[in-house]
Structure 1
């Protein structure tokens, strides 16, 4: 079929129109319909979100002595898709960072875009490696600013301070309990790289600055802590116990001034620590309190007006059969006043004080002293202890519990109970955190003492005088260097 000139022109025009229509449809399809998908692919290849890590807040003692702070380091990372000379990169990086070349080669053999080569590289060492990579025109290795946690006092206060993991999250102690305040808020920025892997600064996208963590100030006094550390080491050396704990607490405020446990560990060498060394035994170990628990029976009887400090009770000359079971004193006592029951630590006298108020009331006072529940101190892992209700008691429990048997308490609970006597009957919640501030000193939170319970002021004052008279009578001795009291009964329990 022969086509004349106008027909050929019309055919050619129609062909061009059809071709341009196809191109136009394809362009609209790519630019409008598939825009987000291809833009995402392009951004994934050239743009990525860089996290700007917030600096973790410091931990300080009550006198602003540093207990935990940060040291700047670099994290060396690799983008395997941008390495231009694989063997040369492996040789140089393995030599500079003391990494076995086989291990590094295995890491870089993948096609991942983010590979952690080594963490906590000192800044000077990282800068030297960066210069050598630039001189050799080697690409694909990058450096991220980071910080490592440093504890300048080593093992001192290890169970109170705690430590962090590689991601700077608190694991134990105050580092864990105050994580929300210490960690801060990370920032970010979107950056774009050129073919050489270098950032194109003018194309830098959205950015949010980080907010550094707050500083946490503890109630602990590092000077007193040092004295306590010396004392506990001396006690461990002399008596060789399996474990030991000292707690120094201000009764009026509940502030923990010092806390030490043995065994302990170095916070800077925590990877070498054994599980038994990492336990804060002041709050996670449960024990029978022994004769220290007699303060509860005496306080209950005095507060309920069943006796007076001068009231005398017959202590059965050292042997009393109650409920079909004998109860002994360490010496034969006849009549003892309430004061002397405490001073001489009479088991029979304490049992009769508890009997004077009855099972239900005695149990009530045990709970009012804070036993059977957590103290609420700002340390993770605290346990309740073990206090059974009267329905679970045997016939003789009322005579055994006053001498510290059939109950389980933590050392911190016992310390808080003793502090109640020194504080005229006010049970104060123990606390180890004093305040939270910004790095420039602005107060974010100031913690004040919390009263958990209250007994009669006058009767508790009399009870406290009796307890202090026990110290003067010779049942306790005073340590010469730290001026701390070591009760003989508790010392003997620690040796067992």
Structure 2
């Protein structure tokens, strides 16, 4: 019988071939699917794991004074970052190093404890980003990068530097470590200063190291430079004299403001205490206050020129009007307003020279009820100034449906309202500008902003002339400046405590204008709580005004206006007045 040609081995082989062909077909189909259909998806996924787009920090705009002197500049620094996830992914069986060895090398080059660094990497084990050191000099960054620790890279950042230090700190402010404005102009003008960051795309390996960059996809745009109205020559001068006065009189704090009366520009704004924005390790919260726009006080007798202005503007009074102050006091029920003596019948100029509370009260009470209040408001009291400084307060200018006579009287000589140093300087600048009010600004102005006439020109001129007598023969003698005519007014105010006025704590004030014949500058000096034997405005604040204003007029080349025969002036520091409210 003939044997069959069929062999079991050949059947099994066909099955193997068949399965192989099917598997190959499946694999080919999958490859086709991945290479053609899923090409874009897989490419994107790969790029997501290997290609990164980082932000390129933009250089922050500089803050400059009016003459171009830098007050805030950005310097390039390097920040060291790590990828803990990449470090812990090291495999001792495949890689030439271990996570522990890398941490040891990194701790050595950074000069830190290994245990501390190990703990940081342990805590951030699952993260791909961690700061190691921020904003360090280039040479330190190069030393760390030379160690070539796995997952450790550097990135460029900018650090803010303030050349003027504490002298301009309250105006300029500062940024945080992320270069974001926190105080002062750094905060107020953050959108303009910060610029627009760029974008950089690069390729990295599995360990997080940058292999190559693809170039700038989007270049950064530097921030805009800002020119302040501040003149650092005057700023340094005012800061030095104010600091010396605070030290001499053991005062708690102080502030001073100088304004250009024609443009409304703030040429100097200084405070005590201050701080160094370049070293914030010892800064206390109270030092950050820009007291010139934040701290409130009752302006006291420095408001009397405005009450006189309201009287003259009303038409009920003229420069020759006489007020009878006898018997030297004025009673409102249980409330008594007093002068230092019985001055009898005095004219308006003498009202300011003697700083008569009685006369000022009688004048205010004789006017329409809201006359004084309306002028105060028009001058800017009770509302913030146009500078819009961060944290600025508007003060308090009370209004009543029906005024009690005592309320009108006390308001007329500066009690019952509160103001800032800048607000008071703004009001005196209006007098100096012959009643024309221009917007106050901390930005350099090419031309003055639109203003308004809030005091009749002839009235303002007459009041400035009356204030000259205060400096010539009244409580403001210490404000005299050789070669210049000066107009001003002193003020000494009891501080308000928890239980009312504190009769052993004072605020010393002087507000003045120079040169009086053609005013250019207005300045206010406020010294809070002087603790020495001298505490009157004429003793404490007026001498500061004299020294600073003399330097400012000389620096700005303002010609002297005092007649030759009157150049020898008395600069008496002691003033023999003992009535606090009047002086």
Q: Same fold (TM over 0.5)?
A: yes
- The question of 1:70 aligning with 2:74 is answered yes
Q: 1:116 aligns with which of 131, 150, 155?
A: 131
Distance 1:224 1:277 in 2: 21
Q: 1:299 aligns with which of 280, 301, 309?
A: 309
Q: What SS does the corresponding residue of 2:349 show, helix, strand or coil?
A: helix
Q: What SS does the corresponding residue of 1:316 show, helix, strand or coil?
A: coil
Give the conservation status (yes or no) of the 8 Å contact 1:429–1:452.
no
Match of 1:52 in 2: 56
Note the C-alpha offset of 1:11. Answer: 12
Note the C-alpha offset of 1:107. Answer: 2.0
Match of 1:20 in 2: 25
Deviation digits for residues 288-332 of structure 1, max 9, x if unmatched? 110111122111111121211221111223112235532111221
- The question of 1:377 aligning with 2:394 is answered no
Match of 2:574 in 1: none
- The question of 1:269 aligning with 2:303 is answered no
Give the conservation status (yes or no) of the 8 Å contact 1:426–1:451.
yes
The farther-off stretch of 216-225 and 484-493 is 484-493
Deviation digits for residues 179-232 of structure 1, max 9, x if unmatched? 11111111112211134644343x627710000111111111111111111211
Note the C-alpha offset of 1:249. Answer: 1.3
Match of 2:157 in 1: 146
Note the C-alpha offset of 1:453. Answer: 5.2
- The question of 1:86 aligning with 2:99 is answered yes
- The question of 1:209 aligning with 2:225 is answered no
Give the conservation status (yes or no) of the 8 Å contact 2:467–2:488.
no
The farther-off stretch of 402-411 and 294-303 is 294-303
Higher normalized helix content (fraction of residues): 1
Q: 1:486 to 1:345 in 2, by over 3 A?
A: closer
Distance 2:140 2:20 in 1: 67
Note the C-alpha offset of 1:19. Answer: 6.7
The farther-off stretch of 408-417 and 294-303 is 294-303
Note the C-alpha offset of 1:287. Answer: 0.8
Give 1:177-256 correspondences, 5 Å limit.
177-195=188-206, 197-201=208-212, 204=214, 207-256=217-266
Match of 2:368 in 1: 358
- The question of 1:425 aligning with 2:435 is answered yes
Deviation digits for residues 80-101 of structure 1, max 9, x if unmatched? 2333542233223323333332
Q: What SS does the corresponding residue of 2:115 show, helix, strand or coil?
A: helix
Distance 2:448 2:104 in 1: 59
How many corresponding residue pairs? Answer: 477
Deviation digits for residues 408-427 of structure 1, max 9, x if unmatched? 11111111011111110012
Q: 1:61 to 1:206 in 2, by over 3 A?
A: closer
Q: What SS does the corresponding residue of 2:278 show, helix, strand or coil?
A: helix
Q: 1:43 aligns with which of 36, 44, 47?
A: 47
The farther-off stretch of 307-316 and 101-110 is 101-110
Distance 2:36 2:310 in 1: 83
Q: What SS does the corresponding residue of 2:242 show, helix, strand or coil?
A: helix
Distance 1:92 1:393 in 2: 79
Distance 1:301 1:488 in 2: 20
Q: What SS does the corresponding residue of 1:248 show, helix, strand or coil?
A: strand
Q: 1:211 to 1:310 in 2, by over 3 A?
A: same
The farther-off stretch of 471-480 and 334-343 is 471-480
Distance 1:44 1:11 in 2: 41
Match of 1:102 in 2: 115
Match of 1:278 in 2: 288
Q: 2:143 aligns with which of 128, 146, 150?
A: 128
Q: 1:310 to 1:33 in 2, by over 3 A?
A: farther
Give the conservation status (yes or no) of the 8 Å contact 2:438–2:448.
no
Q: 1:279 to 1:225 in 2, by over 3 A?
A: same
Note the C-alpha offset of 1:102. Answer: 2.2
Note the C-alpha offset of 1:122. Answer: 0.9
Note the C-alpha offset of 1:479. Answer: 7.3
- The question of 1:174 aligning with 2:179 is answered no
Give the conservation status (yes or no) of the 8 Å contact 2:372–2:412.
no
Note the C-alpha offset of 1:10. Answer: 12
Q: What SS does the corresponding residue of 1:245 show, helix, strand or coil?
A: strand
Q: CA RMSD in A?
A: 3.1
Note the C-alpha offset of 1:263. Answer: 1.1
Match of 2:568 in 1: none
Match of 1:404 in 2: 414
Give the conservation status (yes or no) of the 8 Å contact 2:299–2:491.
no
Give the conservation status (yes or no) of the 8 Å contact 1:194–1:200.
yes
Q: 1:343 aligns with which of 353, 375, 379?
A: 353
Gaps of 5+ in 2: 1-5, 91-97, 494-505, 508-527, 531-583
Note the C-alpha offset of 1:169. Answer: 0.7
TM-score scaled by structure 2? 0.75
Q: 1:447 to 1:19 in 2, by over 3 A?
A: farther
Distance 1:89 1:119 in 2: 20
The farther-off stretch of 472-481 and 380-389 is 472-481
Distance 1:390 1:140 in 2: 70
Q: What SS does the corresponding residue of 2:102 show, helix, strand or coil?
A: helix
Distance 2:448 2:17 in 1: 90
